[in-house]
Structure 1
Amino acid sequence: RLHNPEMLKNRLKEQGLDPAQFADHLKTFDWGMPPHSGWGMGLDRLMTTLIGIDNVREVVLYPRDPDRLSP
């Protein structure tokens, strides 16, 4: 997980995406972003456990992986 806005902008450009389209998200970094691991026990993971599905991508509304960056 990136916590440096410049690194994130560079990654967006590498993926052929326009950082201007992510301005609202990038603006959150103006207040500072501590390093984080990205681990979380959210609703998606809870649903995966409750209904017995092996892959969290099957219960996420817009799953992401290296080959899919948009819904």
Structure 2
Amino acid sequence: MGFEESLKKLEKIIDDLHSEKISLEKSIEKFEEGVKLADHCLKTLDGMRKKIEVVAKTKDGKLKIKPFEEEA
């Protein structure tokens, strides 16, 4: 399942959990599914973050591609 589809399903689950029309059992099932989807989304984002590259100028004015570094 792709990131966008997972995110849409997660948003739907959040909406459902905010609804007072579902049972406790169904809420727990939806919560468990939401945790799995959130984990999938986070792993996907982490993988993409590692692939991001930044173009920067070196001291001599040449362009160089370097890995993206997160701020501390």
TM-score by length of 1: 0.24
Larger Rg: 2
Higher helix share: 2
